[in-house]
């Protein structure tokens, strides 16, 4: 696996190459964008870069660290977090990472923690992680993955170098944006009928479902970012409305409902049942 296999913009690519050339990596990095599989794949690649012992091009693929990384058996790479939709990252897991972080590495002089899908952390879990990210042991490196930095606390982001996969700003059709606006209004009204009505266009057009999910996820992430950081730059009126009307837990539950429906769609679930179930879960998130 080479760095060119990843959809990185030139700035991110050059940044990683400079880290690798000097063998000097930031102790906390956050990978955002693309899909879960690509984020995890890049996190493992960077972990390999950090642990590779070659004094030439990295990863060399032949040193002991590289061979073990390729086999996902390197004892100095620890992975936490669930990649499946709807998973919950518990505060106990964050505390376990914090405790383990003080144990010295096994084979190397470095240890890498890959913490997957950190958008599934609630504030308690993020705050527990923050305690180790503030003053990590010199041999520890943390690679976090998330669909968007907007789901993370500002205190976490301030300690991380953010690496973005794919386009930073997706483009959505006017029809899909209109559907998302209607859904935002319905959720803020807390009307079950309005939520169902807002999904009517999606129910009648299977072709826009994935785009609708992407747009809705971005809208909910924007609302969460606004609530957590107060940063209104680039935030749409729908995000502002949601941030004012709903609390953090409700926004998280809504996000997970959409994320799970999106995942089930990709698994070819019965579409009529999927939309009905999605409507029930969205309403259940705010009732």
What are the pLDDT digits (tens) for 23-58?
Answer: 899 999 999 988 888 899 999 999 999 999 998 889
Percent of the chain with pLDDT over 90: 39
Nearest Cα neighbor of 80 from 26, 128, 25, 20 is 128
Class for the domain spanning 174-286: mainly alpha
Tell which residue, 192, 182, 191, 287, has the closest CA to residue 241. Answer: 182
Q: Where in the chain is the domain with CATH 1.20.272.10?
A: 174-286
Which of helix, strand or coil describes residue 28?
strand
pLDDT of 3 reads 85
Alpha carbon 233 to its chain centroid, in Å, reads 20
Q: Is 71 exposed, middle or buried (0-12, 13-18, 19+ CB in 10 A)?
A: exposed
Tokens representing 172?
């959505």
Indicate the CATH number for domain 3-165.
Answer: 3.40.50.300
Q: CATH 3.40.50.300 in the chain, residues? A: 3-165
Hey, what are 65's tokens?
Answer: 């660290």
Average of per-residue pLDDT across 143-147: 92
């Amino acid at each position: 696996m080479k760095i060119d296999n990843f959809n990185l913009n030139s700035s991110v690519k050059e940044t990683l190459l400079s880290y690798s050339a000097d063998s000097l990596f930031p102790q906390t990095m956050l990978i955002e964008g693309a899909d879960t599989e690509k984020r995890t794949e890049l996190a493992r690649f960077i972990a390999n870069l950090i642990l590779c012992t070659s004094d030439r091009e990295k990863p060399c693929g032949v040193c002991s660290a590289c061979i073990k990384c390729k086999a996902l058996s390197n004892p100095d790479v620890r992975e936490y977090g669930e990649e499946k939709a709807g998973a919950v990252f518990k505060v106990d897991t964050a505390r376990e990472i914090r405790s383990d972080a003080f144990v010295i590495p096994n084979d190397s002089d470095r240890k890498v923690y890959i913490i997957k899908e950190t958008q599934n952390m609630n504030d308690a879990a993020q705050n527990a992680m923050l305690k180790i990210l503030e003053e990590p042991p010199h041999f520890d490196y943390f690679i976090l993955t998330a669909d968007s930095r907007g789901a993370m606390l500002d205190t976490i982001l301030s300690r991380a170098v953010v690496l973005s996969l794919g386009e930073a700003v997706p483009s959505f059709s006017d029809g899909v944006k209109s559907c998302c606006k209607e859904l935002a209004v319905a959720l803020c009204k807390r009307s079950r009928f309005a939520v169902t009505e807002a999904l009517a266009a999606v129910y009648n057009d299977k072709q826009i479902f994935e785009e609708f999910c992407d747009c809705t996820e971005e809208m909910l992430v924007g609302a969460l970012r606004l609530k957590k950081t107060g940063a209104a730059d680039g935030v749409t009126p729908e995000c502002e409305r949601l941030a004012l009307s709903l609390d953090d837990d409700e926004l998280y539950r809504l996000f997970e409902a959409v994320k799970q429906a999106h995942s089930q769609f990709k698994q070819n679930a019965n579409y009529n049942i999927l939309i009905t179930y999605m409507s029930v879960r969205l309403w259940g998130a705010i009732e």
